[in-house]
Amino acid sequence: MELKKSDFYFDLPQELIAQDPLEDRSASRLLVLDRDTGAVSHHIFREITDYLKAGDCLVLNNTKVIPARLLGVKEDTGAHVEVLLLKRRGPDVWETLVKPGKKCRPGAFLSFGDGLLRAQVLETADEGNRLIRFEYQGIWEEVLDRLGEMPLPPYITHKLEDRNRYQTVYAKYEGSAAAPTAGLHFTGELLEQIQAKGVKLAYVTLHVGLGTFRPVKEENVLDHHMHSEYFQISEEAAEKINETKQAGGRIICVGTTSCRTVESAADEKGNVHAGSGNTEIFIYPGYRFKVLDALITNFHLPESTLVMLVSALAGRENVLAAYREAVRERYRFFSFGDCMLVR
C-alpha cells in the first residue's frame, strides 16, 4: 500500500497559527469529531468534562520542557552560535543541533553567558547533530535555567513572556525540547473536576524531541524515518490503564505523545507493560490501535506525521473534512492553538 504525503495536505492560512497562549488555558475552543460518522460539533475546552465519564482513564504525559535553547559564541572567533539540546548522552554530554553547524567542527570551544557555561564539540552524530560536552560551576539545572530559553517551534515568532505557559500544569520530569501541547489546555481545577466524575488519571512520560517538527520529506510516507524518543511508564500507570481496559472503560490519551507511549508499551493483546525505553513508533492509516479509544489533540501541520496519526484513528477523509471546518471557523492552530477530541 502506498500512502502519499500529499494525501495529508490541507490549505492553512498563516494567520491561523496561534502566536500567543490564551490568558485562560481552558478557554480554548474544542472541536469534537465522531470518528465513525465524521460529524463535528463546536465547544469550549472546559466542556471536555461532558465527554468523559466514570470508569474512563485519561493518559497524560508529565514530561517537562527544559530551556534547551542556548545562545553563545565561538571562543576563537566570537561568531554567534545557537545550540539546541536534544538528548542527554552521558554526564554533561548532550546531542545537540548547532546553528551554524559548519563552523562548529569537533574540537571547537563555545561560550555562553560570558563564560558561565563552556562547551566543547566532541563529534558529529546522526543527521549532522553535534555531541557536546559542557563545563560549568554549580548545578546544571540552575545554570540552564539562567542561560537557556524555551525552544519554541519554528512557526512561533512571538517572544514567550511567561515560560510556564509552554509547560503543562502537571509537568514533572525534565527532558523535553517541546511541550506535549494537548495538555496545555488543562488547569488544576479542571483536572479535579474530571477526577470528581470518577475518571482515573494515569501519568506517563515521553520526552518530546525536536524531530516532532521535522517535516516528512519523502512523497511515499512509508519511507519516512521516525525520530527516537525516550519514554517511561510506571507500574501504577500501567495498572490503571489495564484495569480500565478490563472493566470496559475507555483509554483517552491527551496528545499524540501519550498515544505513542502507550501504543509502544503494549503487547498484541493490548496490555500495557511498565518500563522504559526508546520508541520510533510511526502511526499512520492502517495502524490497529491496541490501547487507545479516544484522543485529545491540537491541530497539526499539513502533511505532518501528527496529522497521519490522527487520520489512523478517525480516517483521513473525516480528519481533513474536520480540519477544513476548523479553518472555516477560524480555529487557532498548533502549539498555542485550539483543541480537538476524536471519539
DSSP letter string over 251-296? EEEESHHHHHHHHHSB-TTS-B--EEEEE-----TT---SS-SEEE
The predicted-structure confidence for 217-270, as pLDDT tens digits, reads as follows 889 988 888 888 999 999 999 999 999 999 999 999 999 999 999 999 999 999
pLDDT at residue number 62: 98
Dist CA 291 CA 205 (whole Å): 16
pLDDT at residue number 63: 97
Q: Peptide bond before 100: cis, by omega within 30 degrees of 0? A: yes
Q: What percent of the chain has pLDDT over 90?
A: 81
The structure's pTM equals 0.91
Q: Which spans in the chain are helix H?
A: 140-147, 188-196, 235-246, 256-264, 305-314, 316-328
Report CA 200 to chain centroid distance, whole Å.
22
Dist CA 29 CA 331 (whole Å): 7
Burial pattern 294-312, b for ≥16 Cβ within 10 A else e, equals bbbbbbbbbbbbbbbbbbb
Question: Could you identify the residue written with the cell 469550549?
Answer: 44
Question: Could you identify the residue written with the cell 507511549?
Answer: 261
* Type of residue found at 22: L
SS3 307: helix
Dist CA 291 CA 187 (whole Å): 25
pLDDT at residue number 303: 94
Do the beta carbons of residue 132 and residue 101 sit within 8 Å? no
Question: Could you identify the residue written with the cell 511498565?
Answer: 274
**pLDDT, averaged across the chain:** 94
- The C-alpha cell at 39 is 460529524
What letter would DSSP give residue 168?
-
Dist CA 245 CA 253 (whole Å): 13
pLDDT at residue number 125: 85
Q: Whats the size of the chain, residue-wise?
A: 343
- The C-alpha cell at 151 is 525552544
- The C-alpha cell at 330 is 477560524
pLDDT at residue number 1: 63
pLDDT at 211 over 90: no
Do the beta carbons of residue 206 and residue 234 sit within 8 Å? no
Report CA 293 to chain centroid distance, whole Å.
19
pLDDT at residue number 45: 98
The predicted-structure confidence for 86-133, as pLDDT tens digits, reads as follows 888 889 999 998 988 777 889 999 999 999 999 999 999 877 889 999
The predicted-structure confidence for 151-198, as pLDDT tens digits, reads as follows 888 788 888 888 889 999 999 999 898 899 999 999 999 999 999 999
Do the beta carbons of residue 339 and residue 297 sit within 8 Å? yes
